[in-house]
Structure formats: structure tokens, C-alpha cells
């Protein structure tokens, strides 16, 4: 089990499962700028997958990575299995950025990563995730710098300029 942030040395120590069921941590992304997003396949914001992929392609060579965390916490808007999620994302949006196993991003079973991301100080806001496709921008040292609401377009000026500023 992952410990809470107070006992972790960094954001990179959280224990996770990839969407293909492999055990991992965020250690592989240490040194990258990260956009961590709680996603869903049957949401009004689902078309943001296309823009998230474009961000990943645009800035990936500069050390930027999008990390997608499918969640079924909001209106049952996620597919039932990881296999269905992968197929949906690849076929409909050409997603190649890393996806992780379905995770609770709020409630009693919240994943420790999201329990901490939602309470970490940043220049925007803290508190429980309100809906699918909220975005957390993490710098190369694992610090949460910005947090964006679901309706903030990934390719919009606010997110792109924030990424460019820290790249």
C-alpha cells in the first residue's frame, strides 16, 4: 500500500498499477513536467483526450508527460474494464500517453496520490475533485504548481502557457 505524502520522500513514490496491470510508481517520470488527469470514457469532457494527446505530442520531447487516471467516481462514466478503456482511448483518440488502472479520485477509497494532490498547496485551489478531467500540473521536481478545472481545455492558452513556463 502507498503511504501518505508525509511519509513519502516525493510524489514519485506512490505505488500504482498501469492500465495493463503492471505494478509501478511515478519514478519513471521523475524530472518530467507532468499533467495528471482523472479521465472518463463516457463524459461530456471525454473529447479532451484528443487535446491531451496533442499536448503530449507537442511537448513530449521537451520532457513533458500526460498521465491519465480513469475514474468511475462521477456518474458511472467510465467503462467497466481496463481493456475496454485502452481500446476506447486508442481507437477514438489515438492515445499513446501513459494510462493507469481505474482509480478512485474521491471518497472513502480515494487513491493516496489523489488524496494528497487535492490537498497540496498550489496557486489555484485545493479540495475534492469536482468532476472528470481535472488537471494537476507538476514541475520537474514533483511539486504541484497549478490545478485546472474540468472545463479548462488542455490546448487552451492557460494550460499551454503554464506548461511552457516550466519547461
Residue 89 has pLDDT above 80, yes or no: yes
Domain ranges, residue 29: 5-90+100-166
Indicate which residue of 26, 34, 37, 43 is catalytic. Answer: 43
Q: C-alpha grid cell for residue 123?
A: 496557486
Residue 9 has pLDDT above 90, yes or no: no
Total domains present in the chain: 1
Residues with Cβ within 8 Å of residue 91, at least 6 apart in sequence: none
Q: What is the DSSP letter of 81?
A: S
Q: Tell me the pLDDT tens digit for each residue of 115-160.
A: 999 999 989 999 999 999 999 999 999 999 999 999 999 999 999 9
Does 133 map to a domain? Answer: yes
Q: Is 89 a catalytic residue?
A: no
Mean pLDDT, range 30-56, rounded to an integer: 97
Helical segments of 20-166, H only: 48-59, 82-93, 112-117, 157-166
Does 127 map to a domain? Answer: yes
Does 95 map to a domain? Answer: no
Does 46 map to a domain? Answer: yes
Residue 8 has pLDDT above 70, yes or no: no
Picking from 141, 140, 106, 143, the residue whose alpha carbon sits closest to that of residue 123 is 143
Does 13 map to a domain? Answer: yes
Cα torsion 94, 73, 149, 59 to 10°: value is -30
CATH at residue 31: 3.40.30.10
Q: What is the pTM of this model?
A: 0.93
Cell 494528497 belongs to 116
Amino acid at each position: 500500500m502507498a503511504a501518505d505524502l508525509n511519509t513519502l520522500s516525493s510524489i514519485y513514490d506512490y505505488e500504482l498499477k498501469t492500465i495493463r496491470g503492471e505494478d509501478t510508481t511515478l519514478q519513471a517520470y521523475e524530472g518530467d513536467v507532468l499533467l495528471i488527469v482523472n479521465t472518463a470514457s463516457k463524459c461530456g469532457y471525454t473529447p479532451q483526450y484528443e487535446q491531451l494527446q496533442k499536448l503530449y505530442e507537442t511537448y513530449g520531447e521537451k520532457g513533458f508527460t500526460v498521465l491519465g487516471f480513469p475514474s468511475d467516481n462521477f456518474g458511472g462514466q467510465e467503462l467497466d474494464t481496463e481493456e475496454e478503456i485502452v481500446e476506447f482511448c486508442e481507437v477514438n483518440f489515438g492515445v499513446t500517453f501513459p494510462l493507469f488502472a481505474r482509480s478512485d479520485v474521491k471518497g472513502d477509497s480515494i487513491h493516496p496520490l489523489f488524496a494528497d494532490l487535492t490537498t497540496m498547496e498550489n496557486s489555484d485551489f485545493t479540495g475534492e475533485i469536482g468532476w472528470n478531467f481535472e488537471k494537476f500540473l507538476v514541475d520537474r521536481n514533483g511539486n504541484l504548481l497549478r490545478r485546472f478545472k474540468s472545463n479548462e481545455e488542455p490546448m487552451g492558452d492557460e494550460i499551454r502557457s503554464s506548461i511552457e513556463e516550466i519547461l
